[in-house]
Every structure is written in structure tokens, then in C-alpha cells.
Amino acid sequence: MKAVVFHQHGGPDVLQVAEVERPEPGADDVLVRILAAGICHHDVLSRSGKIPGKPGRILGHEIAGEICAVGADVPPARVGEAVVIYQRLFCGTCRYCLTGRQDLCRNSRVLGEQGGGGYAEYACVPARNAVPIPEGVDMTTAALAVCPVGTSVRAALGVAATEPGQIVLVTGAGGGLGLHQIQVAKSVQARVIAVTSSQDKAALVRAAGADEVIVSPDLKFSGEVWRLTGKQGADVVLENVVTGTFGESLRSAAQHACVVVLGNIGAQPVDIDPGLVIMRRIRIAGSGNATFKDVQTALHLLATKAVKPFIGRVLPFPRAAEGHALMERREVTGRVVLQGW
Ligand SMILES: [Zn+2]
Ligand SMILES: [Zn+2]
């Protein structure tokens, strides 16, 4: 089969089309013909060697396609099913998996990080990882169900457990995660205040459904949040930036707020004011991969159009390098999705 591979860390042009062996499904597996694969910021970091992992693998964990073959223990009726692949190959038996927290499984691995990923004609995964795509969701859209939409569901609805009427502050609101988090928060009738550092993105952020947009080039936004909320603050903060914003996010937090940390833009330690955290009983929580259930929620939100995908560019698979370059140069807003050879 054809695949996009890389043999050394480096710039986008290390990504090359190659002929590799097509995986064979084991008894419990399905073989999926990949019809769309999202390019994640994570892939860009993996390719450039900024996060651990060896070159030589097939990147990509945002995969949608069609089951084209099944193993001996999988119902043959699944052949032809449109599916999105849950990206984490989880054990299913540990104490985390058994409570539905596949994202915490320590015996797990993520497609495209360790093992064959989405930049290929086919992927082979355990049948349980292939989640049926509901009616009304096309392949390009489905590729976003795992992340960014699933990741946004985890943060906003899972970790922060956002409720109707709560005030949700989203930093880095014009980014791929932010634009989807706004919509996920609106899907439960929260009030969303979005912060972006660039005037160019304000209209986009408003189009995503934000009730109020703060354009803050100097990243001093807590005063405005305080004013907009009648000195109550935000009940939930979805922090996609952290570097340069975390102090202001804490200052924007309401009593007993949940501040969810998703971003690590600068990969630098940040200061916290323990007095503020104690006084306001602020809960600071990390968030990452979607759980299995989050992906199903994401697909439902996409199918009902409560969340509309932000897709910046669709490119054929052999132009994956171009997709990476666009993302690195921040020349694209929304996901870059690979489709067709
Ligand atoms: Zn991703
Ligand atoms: Zn497990």
C-alpha cells in the first residue's frame, strides 16, 4: 500500500510517499481503507522530533474510512461500515479502562505515535476501535471527531463538566481547538467568552458562536472578563495557550472555577499565585486525549450540526508535507485534512 513516511526528524520535506506492506488483520481486527486523515499539531511536533518518538513510522491519529476486511472473530457484516478510528489502542482491562477512562490507560499506545497511523491507504486496528459514523457526517468531518472535537468534548464536558448557564472562558480561541471548544460549550448552553490575541481572528471566533470576544494583543484580559461577568469571573477556563496567559486565566476565574490546561505553547513552566488558588478554591486540571465515549459524543455533535467542523484545507495524501508546512507557518485556520491519492 502507499503511505507517507519519514526516515529522519526534520522539516516538512522529510515526509515522503513510499510503498509499504499492507497490514493483515488479526482475529479481532478490522482493516480500514482510509478515506480522510487529519493533520494534528502533534504530528508536526513528532515529525520535527520535538516530542519523543522514533522516525520511520506512519503519522496520524485522526482517521476516518471504511472497513474493507475483518478478522475471523469479527462479524463479517461490518465490512463496508463507515468508521472513525478511536486513536488509542487501550488494554480494556485495567482500572482506568474499566471505568471508561481509556485516555488514562497505561498499557495503551496511540496510532501514529507507536504503530501505523493515518497517512496511508489502510490501517489495521482492533474492531472495537472502529466507531461507526452516524448518518449525515461526511468523511472529512468525521476525521475531526477524535481531535479536535473529541479533545474539546473531554475538556469542556468531561473534565470541566460544563453546565448550562455557566461562563466558559476560552483562550487561544482562534486556534483549531478553541474554535471547536466554543461550539462544544455552546452545545450545553453555556455563555462563552473568547480571548484571541489577533484582531484578524475575531470574526471567526464570533462565527464559532462566542457570546463575547476579547481581542487582547497584550494578553491582559482578566479586567475585561471581570467587567463582562459583573465581577463574578468565569466558571470554566479552557486554557489552550498557558504561556503568557495562565496568570490572567487564574485572575479571570470565579469562585470554585475549573481551569483546564490543554495548551503548552511555550513548553515553559508558569507561575501560579497559591493565595489566589486557595482563596477562590480554583481547581486546576490537565486534559488530553478523548475517551471512547467522548468520540461518540463528538460524532453526535457533528451529526446534529451543533458543532460545525473548521476545515482549513483538504489536500491529497502525497501533499502531506505541504499540509505540515502550512501549519508550521500558521498559514491555515482550521484542520488540514488529507484525502485521496
Ligand atoms: Zn490530533
Ligand atoms: Zn487499560
Res. 24 pLDDT band, cuts 50 70 90: very high
Single pTM value for the model: 0.95
Q: Are 331 and 34 in contact (CB under 8 A)?
A: no
Contact indicator for 23, 116 with CB cutoff of 8 Å: yes
The arithmetic mean of pLDDT across residues 309-325, rounded, is 97
- Nine cell digits for residue 130: 472502529
At which residue does the C-alpha cell 463496508 appear? 80
CA distance 263 to 240: 4
Q: Smallest Cα–Cα separation from 25: which of 111, 113, 122, 93?
A: 122
Bridge partners, 4 (sequence order): 17
Q: Average per-residue pLDDT in the chain?
A: 95
Structure confidence at residue 267 as a pLDDT band (50, 70, 90): confident
Confidence check: pLDDT of 268 > 90: no
- Ligand 2 mean position, distance from CA 324 (Å): 32
pLDDT of residue 5 exceeding 90, the answer is yes
Q: Cα of 228 to ligand 2 centre, how many Å?
A: 43
Nearest to 274 by CA among 250, 245, 256: 250
For 148, half-sphere exposure in the C-beta direction (CA atoms, 13 angstrom radius) is 29
Distance 327 CA to ligand 1 centre (A): 13
- pLDDT above 90 for 56: no
Ligand closest to Cα of 90 equals 2
Strands 212-215 and 191-196: parallel
Has residue 265 got a pLDDT over 80? no
Residue type present at position 87: Q
Pick 115 or 92 by higher pLDDT.
92
The predicted structure's pLDDT at residue 298:
98
Mean pLDDT confidence for 113-126:
90
Report in angstroms the alpha-carbon separations of 86 from 51, 75, 216, 282. Answer: 21, 19, 36, 32
Confidence grade of residue 57 (pLDDT, cut at 50, 70, 90):
confident
Average pLDDT over residues 153-174: 98
Rounded-to-integer distance, Cα 209 and Cα 123, Å:
35
- Residue range 135-151: average pLDDT? 96
Give the per-residue pLDDT at 326.
Answer: 96
Start-to-end C-alpha separation, the chain: 11
Residues 87, 163: Cα–Cα separation, whole Å:
27
- DSSP tag of 271: -
- C-alpha 273 – ligand 1 centre gap (Å): 32
Considering every ligand atom, which ligand is closest to the CA of 295?
Answer: 1
CB contact at 8 A, 59 and 7: no
What pLDDT shows up at residue 62?
96
Using DSSP's 3-state secondary structure scheme, residue 186 falls into helix
Ligand of minimum distance to the alpha carbon of 99: 2
Task: Write down the pLDDT at residue 94.
Answer: 97
Q: Residue 154's pLDDT is what? A: 98
